[in-house]
Structure 1
Amino acid sequence: MRTFIIAAALALTALSAQAAEPIEGKWKTASGATAEIAPCGGAFCVTLRSGKHNGKQIGKMDGSGDSYSGEITDPENDKTYSGSGTVSGNSLKMKGCVLAVLCKSQTWTRL
């Protein structure tokens, strides 16, 4: 019995070590497109998976927990901004800024 408990504890520890970050997954953007956020090269890449710009990578962020930062690109004009993302439950607030003064925000919803 003791061996079983130890094995179960080790299995749970391994699963929690592999748990996805809250930002990972598919999100519905403000425009209605689907964006997928997945690990890539030590960060998290934001790639559109539907809509007019399907397949286009529009961001790359670092972080963990509920706070991430990096770059985000507007797919309409290909301009890249300093970006941040904050996860709260099934919502992701994405923010892009020019010179940390002029900022725009969108809230995405987890699919």
Structure 2
Amino acid sequence: MENSRNSSSLRESYLDEKELQKTQELFAKLDVDKNGFITITELQKGLSAKGLRITTEKAKRLVGRGDDDLDGRLSFQEFVTVMNVLKRSTATSISVGGKAQPRDSLPRGPIT
């Protein structure tokens, strides 16, 4: 029953099938010890290997976005949640002067 619930929630995500497959591949690469979870350290090392360096504090915040059970690591389902948050935040921002801005932060009023 648990697997069908997880499969259902994965299908309700903002990720299409191709993105979900890439997310599974990324999760497998980041999960260095293959225990089914991504730790803050694994996240930092994996992103660093891809040329994306993030501080421990940023890694903690990123993990915290999906860590539903508050164990300090991400299961695959929690990782999908983080990827959905990232996709949703990217989809709701637009570029202004070369910098992505959340739509809510854009100036309002007539264009002159």
Fold agreement, TM-score > 0.5: no
TM-score of the superposed pair, with normalisation by structure 1: 0.24
Structure with greater helix percent: 2
